[in-house]
Amino acid sequence: MSSSKNAIVVGASSGIGAAFARTLASQGYRVALLARRIPELEKVQRGIETGWGEGRARVYENDVCDYEAPPALLAKIEEDMGKVSLFCYAAGVMAEVGKDEYDFAKDKKVLDVNLTGAMAWLDEVATRFQARGEGTIVGISSIAGDRGRRAFPSYHAAKAGLSTFLESLRNRLFQHGVQVTTIKPGFIDTPMTRGMDGLFWLKTADEAAQMIWKAVRRGRSTAYVPARWGLVSLVIRSIPSLLFKRLDI
C-alpha cells in the first residue's frame, strides 16, 4: 500500500461508509468524507476529530448523480489534503419494491446511485492511480449482486454490475500496482436495513468496517463480510435456474 495516508470515502454520512471512515482514521488516514447530507457528515467528522485529532477529516458535499463532479472534486480534495492513496465507494440506495411492482423510475434511481455514480468516480480515480502506479480502490458491492433474486431486481442488477466493473478495473490496474478490493456484505445493521424483516447474522457497521479493513490490508480481491456469506453465495450460485425460479427467496 502507498505511503501517503489520505483517503476518500463516498457515502460517508452513515452506515458502512461512516464506519469505514472511522476505521481508516484509526489506522492513521486523513479522510475526505463525501455525501449529500452535510450535518451527518459533520457528525462523522466530529467523531473522527475527537478520537484521532483535529484535521483528520474533511467534509465535501457530493451527490453521486452529478456525474460531472468527480474530476474537479478529486482535484480540489488533493489540493486541500495532498495525494489520495485510498478511495472507497460506499454510496448506495435500495428501493422498496412490491412483489408485483415494476417501476422504471425507482429502478433508474437505484442504478444511478449504485452503479453509474460509482463508474463516474471510479473512472476518474483509476486514471489517477494508474498514472501514479499505486493506490487502493475499495468498492462496497453486495452479496445481492451474485444472483437475481425476486426481492429487489434493480438492486441485484446494480450490484452485479458494480462487482463486474470492479473486477475489470482490478484486471486492468493490477499491472500498474493498483489494488482493487470488492466487498460483498451480507446483512449489516445500518439505516438501509433498519425495519427489514428476516435479517440474520446481523453485524454492526463498525464490525463490518473492521472486516473490510482486514480484507484491504491483506490485498484481497473480493471479500464477503462476514466471510460465512461466501458459503451462502456458493450455494445460491449453484442452484440451477430451473429450481431457482420456483424458490421464494
Give residues in contact with ligand NAP (CB under 6 A). 11-17, 35-37, 40, 62-65, 90-93, 113, 140, 142, 185, 187-188, 190-193
Q: Of 7 and 16, which has the nearer Cβ to ligand NAP?
A: 16
Query: Position of cell 435479517?
Result: 199
**Residue with smaller CB distance to ligand NAP, 136 or 190:** 190
Residue 105 CB, nearest approach to ligand NAP (Å): 15
The DSSP letter of residue 149 is: -
Shortest separation between residue 23's beta carbon and ligand NAP, angstroms: 13
Cell of 150: 425476486
- Looking at the Cβ atoms of 21 and 173, the one nearer to ligand NAP is 21
Do 60 and 32 form a contact (C-beta atoms < 8 A)? yes
H or E, element range at 94 = none
Using H for helix, E for strand and C for coil, what is the string for 34-47? EECCHHHHHHHHHH
Task: Kindly state the smallest distance separating residue 19's Cβ from ligand NAP, in Å.
Answer: 8
Q: Are 85 and 27 in contact (CB under 8 A)?
A: no
Cα distance between residue 206 and residue 47, in whole Å: 13
Active-site choice (29, 60, 89, 155):
155
The three grid cell numbers given for residue 167, joined into one nine-digit string = 473486477
Residue (91 or 223) nearer to ligand NAP, CB:
91
Give the residue from 195, 118, 120 showing the smallest Cα distance to 158.
Answer: 118
Q: How many CB atoms lie within 10 A of CB 229?
A: 20
67 given a catalytic annotation: no
The CA distance from 43 to 31, in Å, is: 14
Minimum CB–partner distance for residue 40 and ligand NAP (Å): 6
> With respect to ligand NAP, which residue has the nearer C-beta, 153 or 185?
185
Annotated catalytic residues are 155
